[in-house]
Structure 1
Amino acid sequence: MSQQRTDQGERSNRGSAAGAAAPGAPWLWLSIAAGVLAVAGSVVGLGVGGFYANLTPAFLPQALAQDVANLALAAPALLVCAILALRGSLRARLVWLGVLAFTVYNYVIYTFSIPFGPLFPVWVAVLGLSLFSLIGGIASTDAGAAAARFGSRPAAVVTGWSLIVVGVLFGLLWLSEDVPALVAGTTPQSVLDLGIPTNPVHILDLAFFLPAVVGTGILLLRRREMAYPVAPAFLVFLILTGVPIMVTPIVQSVRGETAAWTVLAPIGLITVLMLVLLAWLLRTVGSPDGAEARSGAGEPAG
């Protein structure tokens, strides 16, 4: 009987480890510093007239839209989720990982694509802090304990297939521009519009993020434990990625430019779909005690 209680206690401790703040507390605090710096940088970027004066007419609205998205949504979400994760919330931790991925992605673009200026040290600091927070956050998350707390296999299956489909579609979309330009020996139009050597979005997506999104979807369908904490993070990443794209035509309209309203329908649809999937998936996350009960009853994790 004593041994049984010991085993149950060990399973309970393992089930709560993913939601506990202690293992990943240093990375959570680093991300809070990144969030504060991101807010400061976006305030300056939006508030100082002519700060992005060296950008092309096509790039400028995108930069302003990104600052709006950072200031209104991404940075506050990073701060709130980090604080809640410090208090032991697994759901907040999973969302936090996704916001960190989005932050790393965008500050790579800031640091490599926007001309050198007064905010360069701030952007580099946000990139470094968020990158180390993301690496440390993933390493300190107990994937097995997290997987045991997901209580709906249908939600996991739908999420897995959605990640695969969205990842493949965006990959084909970028290749539909890059491959014809390579064959013709020309420069893709998006690169000419941005006035930079290459398109950083295509590089990051094709080299890292889209393969990771598709791979996570496949692993989720195969019930691999490591996919369970990563899948919600990628849903958050895709949601946040859609926000500045939808804000860009609004910025263009405010500035009296021709607004690309046609992007709202497809990007809005994908963003809403990812938001619904995220809400569904997170609702299935139970307490550590519930995960232990399901495991004891012989139900598969997730």
Structure 2
Amino acid sequence: MTRELRRWHRWSTVAILAFSVGSSLVGLLRPGHYRAPPDIALSYQIQDLTVLLVGVPVLAVGLWSAARGSPRGRLVWLGGMAFMTYIWASAAIQIPYNELFLVYVALFGLSLFTFVGGMWSTDPERIRRRLEGRVDPALYAGALFVVGLGLAALWLSDILPALLQGTTPTIVEESGPQALTSHVVDLGVVVPSILLAAVWLYRRRTWGYVLAGVVLILGATLAAPIGLMTLVLLTGETVTVSPVAAFFTFLPIVVSALLAVAYVRSMSGSGGIPGDGEGAQST
């Protein structure tokens, strides 16, 4: 395994950064780009803004640092790539059709394959060595378990009552079937990943240290768009968001953000993210 990123990882990440900036600017600056009710359109623009202010900087810093061989930078890069995969999958499925539909699909596919390739080529032992003895696996595993169950409970609270009563979930009646995109992605991918990371980390498996860092950074980068979009929906009239649902929306992202910062800081060596004392060399 190489300490530095492979060449195609670098070029695909640069392409993701460029197209993410371009599509987000179009969403923010082009009048009427989002063909949706005002509250929903505003939430899409908030997502564009947070991609520019959070997602792009995190991925760019992670790319620069990981390219220099930093294990901490590689974890940040993987977390940023997971964020891009999540965001553009949601955009491609959820946003009403517009001229950038194929761009959303391309960004999702490129992000997904780059993320998978990055995980496949990661040396988990290097990351474990940086974290072992510096983090409490039981503490982080317990927090991840709570976050995963809380997220599952949040989305199931929309679905299970409707299933038991034989009705349509309120969110679908208010916003249409595309409103369940987050339910699909979170319940199908994110929640299982969080719970798997918790179990592996608790058992001190090597890949548990990597996966835990990735899902924590994903949660931290999603904190801004999810939090702001929830506030927009709370103050709008299009979608009903109960106080309980809002609480269980904010709790996981706040916890993930705090834990992610602590987790990444625990990997600090003789320097900051850019080198970690190892970035100048490769094997």
Aligned to 1:175: 156
Q: Which amino acid aligns with 1:30?
A: S
Task: Kindly indicate whether the alpha-carbon contact (under 8 Å) linking 1:36 and 1:75 is maintained by their aligned counterparts in 2.
Answer: no
Structure 1 residues 199 and 104 mapped into 2: Cα distance closer, same or farther (>3 Å)? same
Aligned to 1:213: 194
**Structure 2: how far apart are the matches of 1:266 and 1:201?**
14
1:199 aligns with 2:180: yes
**Structure 1: how far apart are the matches of 2:21 and 2:66?**
20
Q: Which amino acid aligns with 1:103?
A: M
Task: Kindly indicate whether the alpha-carbon contact (under 8 Å) linking 1:65 and 1:248 is maintained by their aligned counterparts in 2.
Answer: yes
Structure 1 residues 266 and 185 mapped into 2: Cα distance closer, same or farther (>3 Å)? closer
User: Which sits farther off after the overlay, 142-151 or 180-189?
Assistant: 142-151
Deviations 1:149-204 (A, max 9, x none): 21336433221111111001110121121011112221111122222356011111
Q: Which amino acid aligns with 1:279?
A: V
**Structure 2: how far apart are the matches of 1:211 and 1:70?**
24
Q: Counterpart of 1:116 in 2: which secondary structure? A: coil
User: Which sits farther off after the overlay, 260-269 or 35-44?
Assistant: 260-269
Q: CA deviation at 1:75?
A: 1.6
Q: 2:4 aligns with which of 21, 26, 43?
A: 21
Aligned to 1:100: 81
Deviations 1:9-49 (A, max 9, x none): xxxxx8xx5xx214x34223212210110010000001001
Q: Larger Cα Rg: Structure 1 or Structure 2?
A: 1
Q: Could you tell me which runs of 5 or more consecutive residues in structure 1 were left unpaired when the two chains were aligned.
A: 1-13, 289-302
Task: Kindly indicate whether the alpha-carbon contact (under 8 Å) linking 2:125 and 2:206 is maintained by their aligned counterparts in 1.
Answer: yes
Aligned to 1:51: 33
User: Which sits farther off after the overlay, 130-139 or 110-119?
Assistant: 110-119
Task: Kindly indicate whether the alpha-carbon contact (under 8 Å) linking 2:151 and 2:249 is maintained by their aligned counterparts in 1.
Answer: no
Structure 1 residues 283 and 101 mapped into 2: Cα distance closer, same or farther (>3 Å)? same
Deviations 1:214-252 (A, max 9, x none): 111111000110111111110111112221122226657
Q: Identity percentage over the alignment?
A: 31
User: Which sits farther off after the overlay, 215-224 or 268-277?
Assistant: 268-277
Q: Counterpart of 2:36 in 1: which secondary structure? A: coil
Aligned to 1:156: 137
1:74 aligns with 2:49: no
Aligned to 1:295: none
* Superposed counterparts of 1:1-302, under 5 Å: 17=2, 20-22=3-5, 24-52=6-34, 54-152=35-133, 154-197=135-178, 199-248=180-229, 257=236, 267-285=249-267
Task: Kindly indicate whether the alpha-carbon contact (under 8 Å) linking 1:32 and 1:78 is maintained by their aligned counterparts in 2.
Answer: no
Deviations 1:39-75 (A, max 9, x none): 10000001001111x2134422321111111111102
Aligned length: 267
Deviations 1:100-125 (A, max 9, x none): 11211121111112222211122122
Q: Which amino acid aligns with 2:123?
A: D
Q: Could you tell me which runs of 5 or more consecutive residues in structure 2 were left unpaired when the two chains were aligned.
A: 271-283
Q: Counterpart of 1:281 in 2: which secondary structure? A: helix
Task: Kindly indicate whether the alpha-carbon contact (under 8 Å) linking 1:155 and 1:277 is maintained by their aligned counterparts in 2.
Answer: no
Q: CA deviation at 1:89?
A: 1.6
